[in-house]
Amino acid sequence: MAKRINKNDPGFNDVLLATLLERNRAAENVDSVVASILEEVKERGDDALIEYTERFDGIKICQQQLKFSAEEISSAYAKIDSDVISALKFAAQRIEKFHRHQVPKDFFYTDEVGVRLGLRWRPVDAVGLYVPGGSAAYPSSLLMNAIPARMAGVKRVAMVIPTPKNMIDPLLLGAAKFCGVDEIYRIGGAQAIGALAYGTETILAVDKIVGPGNSYVASAKKQVFGTVGIDMIAGPTEVLIVADRDNDPEWIAIDLLAQAEHDSDAQSILVTDDPSFADRVEDSIEEHLGGLNRREIARSSWENNGLIVIVDDLSLAPELVDKIAPEHVELAVDNPDDLAEKITHAGAIFLGRYTPEAVGDYVGGPNHILPTGGSARFSSGLSVLDFLKRTSVMQCGPESLKSIGTVAIKLAELEGLGAHARSIGIRIGKG
């Protein structure tokens, strides 16, 4: 049974905070181990990658096998059924269309004193895409990473993917080719992040690293930040569903389990104003669990991290959502826009009874790579903007520099920066 709390209970906020902190605890302190791995990769390059791949993934490879060959990638693509290709194409078209709307435009204008000002956008040159591997295949995440990079105009996308015990689903290689990614390396973990950040004899360094991974990958991304950019530090997935009694409890139950089946550390939260409806949802969860192929994972997630919050009125839900700042929010109510307008902190919001979060994972269009663990308070989901840099542009003529330069000279002198003041003054006869 999931934990159930009532907003009117004494100490509600303390219980809620303790529940969230417990779930978001670090699984283990891996920073020192990761630091050692990164240093080895930085110093020894390919040799370190080969050794760590044998140690952690259980396979022996030589330098030439670090990179998947064009033949291996094409062969994997050829194995994908035509109906799967059609599904990937359908999803890709919707994702591309949504992300195309995000591409910003340069702007320039001349102000009232004649100074020309502007802002221009340019893509990063090279991006490293981390894709979890092994027996699990999540081509949807590959689409969500690769397509916005392409929309931004990134010239080079290098993909790394672990192959423990030499296992890899051909679908991932084929989907990569479908997305236009043909530089793929069979390495994973912290060593893969190090290779992308520092470069090796085989792998050229990139400018930014994106994509989810385990605690070692997350720690490595934190530690290489500054040498390269990163997208975010993603934790276990989560959903918060606001639902009234007019919902079918089976629908809400399976939505909660759809998040729970990702990972035993995932979290599913139900907020409702009807305790009896919450009872029916819990009964439906038990019924659904028996038919899930990942039922043990889903059950562990629900029983250990699941949470039901009872409120007097669903008008109180936005305040609760903002306090938790969840990755996904479903508003399964009659007028979801009214509640959504009052929510500030959420990675993504799904409006109404017919918009399950699961559709957003695949074919909705918006990106499903979103901030977790309360980080929606200060960050956003992956977008085209994550692959672009903005540069300001300024141009003065003799008269416009004179118009604004005297004030700049005054400010420079106040700060004791004489060369700054003279740099301006020498051009306008005040130097």
Report how many domains make up the chain: 3
- 388-395 and 116-123 beta bridge pairing: antiparallel
Among the listed residues 262, 328, 345, 368, the single catalytic one is 328
Residue 76 lies in a domain: yes
Q: What pLDDT was estimated at residue 82?
A: 95
Name the residue with tokens 């559709």: 359
Q: Which of 313, 343, 364 is the last residue of a domain?
A: 364
* Same-domain pairing of 340 and 198: no
Q: What pLDDT was estimated at residue 24?
A: 58
DSSP letter string, 306-372:
-EEEE-S-GGGHHHHHHHH--SEEEEESS-HHHHHTT----SEEEESTT--HHHHHHTSSS------
Q: Which of 316, 345, 364 is the last residue of a domain?
A: 364
Among the listed residues 40, 261, 282, 327, the single catalytic one is 327
Using DSSP, state whether 269 is helix, strand or coil. Answer: strand
> Which amino acid, 429?
G
- The CATH number given to whatever domain includes residue 320 is 3.40.50.1980
Low-confidence ranges of the chain (pLDDT < 50): 26-27
Residue 66 lies in a domain: yes
Q: Which of 191, 209, 230 is the last residue of a domain?
A: 230
Residue 385 lies in a domain: no
The answer to whether the CB of 301 falls within 8 A of the CB of 261 is yes
* Same-domain pairing of 67 and 52: yes
* Same-domain pairing of 216 and 97: yes
Using DSSP, state whether 159 is helix, strand or coil. Answer: strand
* Same-domain pairing of 61 and 175: yes
Give catalytic status of residue 288 as yes or no. Answer: no
Name the residue with tokens 């894709």: 131
Residue 118 lies in a domain: no
Residue 182 lies in a domain: yes
Q: What pLDDT was estimated at residue 254?
A: 98
**Angle of CA points 293, 294, 295, to nearest 5°:** 95
Distance from C-alpha of 235 to C-alpha of 214, rounded to nearest angstrom: 8
Q: What pLDDT was estimated at residue 255?
A: 98
Domain span at residue 294 reads 3-24+235-364
Give catalytic status of residue 99 as yes or no. Answer: no
CB-hemisphere CA count at 13 Å for 42? 12
* Same-domain pairing of 182 and 288: no
